[in-house]
Amino acid sequence: MARKINFDSAPAAAQPEQGGQPHVPNRPLLGLERPIRQSGALGAISQSLGNINEKVRRAEEIEQKLVEGQMIVDLDPGLIDASFVRDRMDATEEQNIAFRELIREHGQASPILVRPHPHQPERFQVAFGHRRLLAARELGIKVRAVVRELSDEQLVVAQGQENSGRTDLTFIERARFAASLEDRKFSREVIMAALNVDKAAVSRLISIVSRVPPSIIDAIGPAPAFGRVRWQELSELLDKDANRKRAGEIVAAAAFLEMDTDKRFEAVYCGLHEKPLRSRAESWSAEDGTRAARVSRAGKKLTLTFDDRVAPAFGDFVKGHLQTLYEQYKAANKGGACS
């Protein structure tokens, strides 16, 4: 049975130091670098001390709300480090630019979750929101964040569940995340909670990613179009030493680097498999919305189907321009397609 993890634990109360005086922690929210110490002075400074103590009390209330995730604050991105375990592969430069411009134009829609850094005072560690953090850092703006006290287990559960809730990770990213957690000796209960899957699913994730060399996964990338079935087939193909060598040669080719991540998966898969991938028939739509053709692949055959009721004579028009299209194909083709 999965163990319930409580994220709402309150911080321990301050314990008296030797001599009976309680230790008052630093209050960064007040801009104070050293603890406030009680003074025995009387008279004119009594009211001042009372005001300072009132600020300390309010700071304690604010910090308690931060721990409980009830308040959002603006933090300097330079004070926030990445999680100790990665859950996603690097996005392309184009994706980073698009996301950054979205933040610039519309602002940060939802806060990230961070915890006080367990080993570096005055710093934080992000649980989720790495892309929002990167965008804020590149834009030179503060990042909106919820600060909570989280154990390592609570952090990875929050990190995994946030992405799982948005179905934001591809299959191979989820598999790698599960394997990374196991490598760090987290229990299967924690991994199940982080990915919101059962024990059998965790075993499948870890099994598949352990059979595909890390260098091949890095070279292919997240491949969002391909799920468990295709990655399982690829992992079985890579059980053979000869296929591993062949896969290494495929990913090292110059043309491979010019493909997008899904095409890279196809290139490796088709390079090792006797049968090429079959794609479902799909409609091709013009910019005006007209579904002028259907495309389907069966084995080594690609079929274009034109519907004269939708676009009369369009098929004949394409047929008349096949020579021109073929010349353009020869000029542009760089040998990256599966065949």
Calculate the alpha carbon distances from 271 to 261, 319, 322 in Å.
Answer: 15, 31, 28
Confidence band for 205, pLDDT divided at 50, 70 and 90: very high
Average pLDDT over residues 220-225: 90
The answer to whether position 97 is within a domain reads: yes
Q: What pLDDT shows up at residue 273?
A: 75
Query: Of the residues 150, 181, 216, which one is the last residue of a structural domain?
Result: 150
Average pLDDT over residues 162-187: 80
Judged against a pLDDT cut of 70, whether residue 138 lies above it is answered with yes
Judged against a pLDDT cut of 70, whether residue 6 lies above it is answered with no
Give me the numbers of helices (H) and strands (E) for the chain, helices first please. Answer: 14, 8
The answer to whether position 221 is within a domain reads: no
Q: What pLDDT shows up at residue 51?
A: 54
The answer to whether position 338 is within a domain reads: no
Average pLDDT over residues 127-136: 88
Contact 247, 216 (CB under 8 A): yes
Q: What pLDDT shows up at residue 304?
A: 85
- What count of other Cβ atoms lies within 10 Å of the Cβ of residue 308? 10
Judged against a pLDDT cut of 50, whether residue 252 lies above it is answered with yes
Judged against a pLDDT cut of 90, whether residue 32 lies above it is answered with no
Spatial neighbors of 75 by CB under 8 A, at least 6 apart, are 114, 124, 142, 143, 145, 147
The answer to whether position 312 is within a domain reads: yes
Confidence band for 37, pLDDT divided at 50, 70 and 90: very low
Spatial neighbors of 124 by CB under 8 A, at least 6 apart, are 75, 79, 80, 81, 114, 115, 116, 117, 145, 147
Residue 232: both structure tokens together: 């399982």
Domain that holds residue 81: 55-150
Calculate the alpha carbon distances from 41 to 34, 37, 38 in Å.
Answer: 19, 12, 9
Average pLDDT over residues 93-111: 85
Q: What pLDDT shows up at residue 17?
A: 40
Contact 329, 321 (CB under 8 A): no
Question: What predicted TM-score, i.e. pTM, was given to this entire model?
Answer: 0.53
Q: Which helix (H) or strand (E) holds 298?
A: strand 291-298
Confidence band for 274, pLDDT divided at 50, 70 and 90: low
Query: Of the residues 87, 117, 150, which one is the last residue of a structural domain?
Result: 150
Q: Which percentage of the chain shows pLDDT scores above 90?
A: 26
Mean pLDDT over each residue of the chain, to the nearest integer? 76
Residue 5: both structure tokens together: 């993890």
Residue 37: both structure tokens together: 């110490």
Average pLDDT over residues 4-26: 42
The answer to whether position 317 is within a domain reads: yes
Confidence band for 322, pLDDT divided at 50, 70 and 90: confident
The answer to whether position 257 is within a domain reads: no
Calculate the alpha carbon distances from 33 to 27, 30, 157 in Å.
Answer: 7, 9, 33
Q: What pLDDT shows up at residue 44?
A: 46
Kindly tell me the burial class for residue 295, based on how many C-beta atoms sit within 10 Å of its own C-beta (0-12, 13-18, 19 or more).
Answer: middle
DSSP at 30? G
Average pLDDT over residues 260-279: 80
For β-strands 73-75 and 301-306, DSSP reports them as: unpaired
Average pLDDT over residues 114-143: 90
Q: What pLDDT shows up at residue 285?
A: 75
Q: Which of 87, 81, 113 is nearest to 184 (CA)?
A: 87
Alpha-carbon span 13 to 64, nearest angstrom: 11
pLDDT in tens, 293-309: 888 766 567 788 888 88
Q: What pLDDT shows up at residue 46?
A: 52
Q: What pLDDT shows up at residue 49?
A: 55
The answer to whether position 135 is within a domain reads: yes
Q: What pLDDT shows up at residue 292?
A: 79
Judged against a pLDDT cut of 70, whether residue 58 lies above it is answered with no
Judged against a pLDDT cut of 50, whether residue 320 lies above it is answered with yes
How many separate domains does the chain show?
A: 2
Lowest mean pLDDT among 106-110, 189-193, 216-220: 106-110
Which residues partner with 302 through β-bridges? 297
Lowest mean pLDDT among 97-106, 127-136, 291-300: 291-300
Confidence band for 168, pLDDT divided at 50, 70 and 90: low
Alpha-carbon span 203 to 208, nearest angstrom: 9
Phi, psi (5° rounding) for residue 321?
Answer: -110, 15
For β-strands 124-128 and 80-81, DSSP reports them as: parallel
Judged against a pLDDT cut of 70, whether residue 220 lies above it is answered with yes
**Residue 79: which CATH number?**
3.90.1530.10
- What count of other Cβ atoms lies within 10 Å of the Cβ of residue 108? 21
Judged against a pLDDT cut of 70, whether residue 43 lies above it is answered with no
Q: What pLDDT shows up at residue 130?
A: 85
The answer to whether position 333 is within a domain reads: no
Query: Of the residues 95, 118, 150, which one is the last residue of a structural domain?
Result: 150
